[in-house]
Structures are given as C-alpha cells and as structure tokens.
Amino acid sequence: MKKEKIVLGMSGGVDSSVAAFLLQKRGFEVHGVFMKNWDDENAICNAEDDYADALSVCNQLQVPLKKINYTKEYKERVFNQFLIDHQNGFTPNPDVLCNKEIKFDVFQKYAEKIGANKIASGHYAKIVKANGKFFICKAVDSSKDQSYFLYQLTSKILESVEFPLGNILKKDIRKIAQENNLINASKKDSTGICFIGDRKYNNFVSQFLKSNIGKIITVDGEEIGNHNGHMYFTVGQRKGLGIGARQSAFDQPWYVVNKDIDNNIVYVAQGPDHPALFSDELIADNMYWNLDIQKNIPFKCNAKVRYRDIDHSCSILSSKDDQCYIKFDHKIKAITSGQSIVLYHENGVCIGGGIIRKRNIPFLNEGINE
C-alpha cells in the first residue's frame, strides 16, 4: 500500500524532529522543509547550525529535506509590518503573522509541488472537528501550548494539517528523542523573537526606526523625564525607563501605563498594582472567526491577551465591521495594544482572535490617546 505524503516543517529542534519520527510511525511518507527566514548571525535562529541538526535527523530517519530561503518574503510580509506597528505605537507579535503568512503558506506550496495532501509542524496544539469544521484546540501540555499563535489558520487550512505533538507532554518528547538517539534530544528550546537574538530589544529596533525625543509624564500630570521614542516602550514595562529614584509613593518602581502616540508622550505610574495598569474592556480588530457568534451576542468565552497568559472569562458584547468589543469579568493587568487576543470555549477550542487596539483607562485624563 502506498504511503500518504506529508510535508513537515523542520526547524532543527527536538519538537519537529520527534514530530517526524511520530508521523513515520503512523505510516506517513514524511518530506521535510527547512525554512531560512532571517539572515543574521546574531539572531536566535542560527540557520546553518539549525539546518545541520535538521539534516542529521532527516538522514537518520531517511526523510528527504528541502531547504527554502524565505528571507525576502519574511522581511516583506512580517518584519516590515513589525516595524510599522512599532511606529504606530503598538507592541506586535510577529510569530502570529509568520505562521499565517510564511510557514503554513510555504508548507502548502511545497506540498502541492510534490503531490502531498497534508502538512504538519511541531507546534503544541490540537485540531478538533465539530459540525463539519476544523478548529485549533489547546495542547495537553498547557505549559507549552501554542494555540495562541495559530488562531489565524482557517478551517480550510486545518483540514489538511497535522499537529502530532498535541497530545504529548514536553518531557515525553525529550524521552522519545533520547530513546531514538536523535542528535537534538537535549537541545535547548528557542525563546523570544528569533531575529532579535541576544541583543537588547530597543537596541535592535533603533537600527530601523529613528529616535524621537518626547516627554515622560506621570498619571498626575507631572513631567519627570524624557525618552527617545514611544516605540521603545510598552504598557506594563518597568525596566529601562531612565527615570531614576524618586522620593514618593514609597519608592515603588515606575511602570508604563499608556502612550500618547500623536504627541509622543509616555505616561507612567508607580507601583505594580497601580489602577492605571488595569483594564476590564478592550476593542480588537483584524478579527479572524472560526465560529459564527453574531446570533449569540453577548457571547461568553475565555480569552488570552498575550502568550503565557492565563485564561480570563469575558463577554463579547459586539462584533461588527471587523471590530470586536470585549468586556472582562475582572480587571486585567497591562493589556497591550498590538498584541493578539485569542478567544476560547471552556474546552480549550479556539473560536477566533484579533489584534488589540484600545483598552479603557479610567484613571488617566481625558484626551490621552490610546
């Protein structure tokens, strides 16, 4: 019986390597794709070392590996948007856009080229089918779950996708790799944004965006310092404000609580529990829906407002013209414009998501732009 072909993204890490092994065990004819998305020796994603590891595993498993250079497309479709978002005052998450615009697009194109019907990756997520549609669902290993980054994948795409790690704990992935002598069984997981690497975030961004000196102002209206540009700050940020010690509010640290983009002002407050850090509602746009909720508004669900966040119970109060208004059952700290909000049923099934644009800030003066 002829084996079904499947195209698997191979990163050189232990997750995608074990995914290849597991897909083979299930009877697939696995074809690996290694994507080079960034050309910079200072990045986390050291392409040559990672490719060597991916090739070693593929040779061991007798899996053909295709290397594709996508640096041009990545810069055009992901990195340029990353810079635009910063200029507009947002704190973007490029991994979400990369999955939609680059990774799964590349997988599908190569699958069509070699006559494969399915694509796969080493993401920690599951796919469930209900009422004839396919949905992203949280992985069994909640500490590694990556469904947050995948909410933009449509049912049509998911119909031909496999996530072989969705039901396995990370510790067991390591064990499988060790038992089968995979070269990267103990390889450290990559974290953070791959193209920034070990460099300081602001130092990296400053290579591409011009500095623009502005004021740092407290929520009480006191000017206490200057900054080099609003794009170097994000809501909830504590370090790197350059304010210094002040004999007030019991010397509690300063936090960014808001930004006025038009006037290039960064607003700050003292203390990790200052009310200006907390919000219980937001507006998101650029919405992707996997479920029609219009007839059921207000719609109760759970939401993550950032990766590594816990679930927050909320109600979708309106959804119109690609915008969504969401009210939370409790106040949430440091909701950040530009990050994704991802919406779930109680059973961990992703029903949609979008980009956070505005949050309520009741403790700041009127006229301050979000």
Q: What is the pLDDT of residue 194?
A: 67
Domain enclosing residue 99, as ranges: 5-179
Tell me the pTM.
Answer: 0.90
User: In what side-by-side order are the strands of the sheet with 265-270?
Assistant: 223-227, 214-218, 265-270, 254-260
Tell me the C-alpha distance between 18 and 145, whole Å.
16
- Among residues 253, 270, 287, which one ends one of the domains? 270
Phi, psi of 360 (to 5 degrees): -75, 140
Q: What is the pLDDT of residues 128-161, one digit of tens each?
A: 999 899 999 999 999 999 999 999 999 999 999 9
Amino acid at 251: D
- Residue 198 placed within a domain: no
Give me the CATH number covering residue 123. Answer: 3.40.50.620
Q: What is the pLDDT of residue 64?
A: 97
Q: What is the pLDDT of residues 333-342, one digit of tens each?
A: 999 999 999 9
The proportion of the chain whose per-residue pLDDT surpasses 90, expressed as a percent, equals 64
Lowest-confidence region among 89-93, 204-208, 241-245: 241-245
- DSSP, collapsed to helix, strand or coil, labels residue 73 as helix
- Among residues 221, 250, 270, which one ends one of the domains? 270
Pair 34, 110 in one domain: yes
- Residue 30 placed within a domain: yes
Pair 73, 129 in one domain: yes
Give me the CATH number covering residue 220. Answer: 2.30.30.280
364 or 281: which leads in pLDDT: 281
pLDDT at 25 over 60: yes
Average pLDDT, the chain: 89
What is the band of 249 on the pLDDT scale with cuts at 50, 70, 90?
Answer: low
Pair 350, 229 in one domain: no
What is the band of 189 on the pLDDT scale with cuts at 50, 70, 90?
Answer: confident
Pair 256, 280 in one domain: no
- Residue 341 placed within a domain: yes
Pair 154, 69 in one domain: yes
194 carries an active-site annotation: yes
Pair 37, 87 in one domain: yes
pLDDT at 74 over 80: yes
* Distant-in-sequence, close-in-space partners of 106: CB < 8 Å, separation ≥ 6: 9, 33, 35, 68, 70
- Which of the following is catalytic: 194, 301, 324, 350? 194
Q: What is the pLDDT of residues 36-46, one digit of tens each?
A: 887 765 555 56
Tell me the C-alpha distance between 27 and 29, whole Å.
7
Pair 99, 50 in one domain: yes
Q: What is the pLDDT of residue 9?
A: 94
Report whether 147 contacts 140 (CB < 8 A).
no
Pair 98, 151 in one domain: yes
Pair 81, 131 in one domain: yes
- Residue 370 placed within a domain: no
The proportion of the chain whose per-residue pLDDT surpasses 70, expressed as a percent, equals 91
From the centroid of its chain, how far is CA 303? 14
pLDDT at 1 over 60: yes
pLDDT at 21 over 60: yes
- Residue 298 placed within a domain: yes
- Residue 204 placed within a domain: no
38 or 266: which leads in pLDDT: 266
End-to-end CA distance of the chain: 60
Mark out the alpha helices in 36-103 (DSSP H runs): 47-61, 71-74, 80-87, 94-98
Burial category of 217 from C-beta neighbours within 10 Å (exposed 0-12, middle 13-18, buried 19 and up): buried
- Residue 336 placed within a domain: yes
Pair 227, 334 in one domain: no
Q: Is 352 left (phi over 0), alpha (psi -120 to 50) or beta?
A: left
Amino acid at 59: N
Give me the CATH number covering residue 313. Answer: 2.40.30.10
137 carries an active-site annotation: no
* Distant-in-sequence, close-in-space partners of 282: CB < 8 Å, separation ≥ 6: 305, 325, 326, 335, 341, 356, 357, 358, 359, 360
Mark out the alpha helices in the chain (DSSP H runs): 14-25, 47-61, 71-74, 80-87, 94-98, 104-114, 155-158, 170-179, 201-205
- How many domains does the structure of the chain reveal? 3
- Among residues 179, 201, 225, which one ends one of the domains? 179
Pair 293, 318 in one domain: yes
Q: What is the pLDDT of residue 321?
A: 80
- Which of the following is catalytic: 45, 58, 98, 137? 98
pLDDT at 245 over 90: no
Pair 99, 225 in one domain: no
Respond yes or no on whether the N-terminal peptide bond of residue 94 is cis (omega within 30° of 0): no
- Residue 369 placed within a domain: no
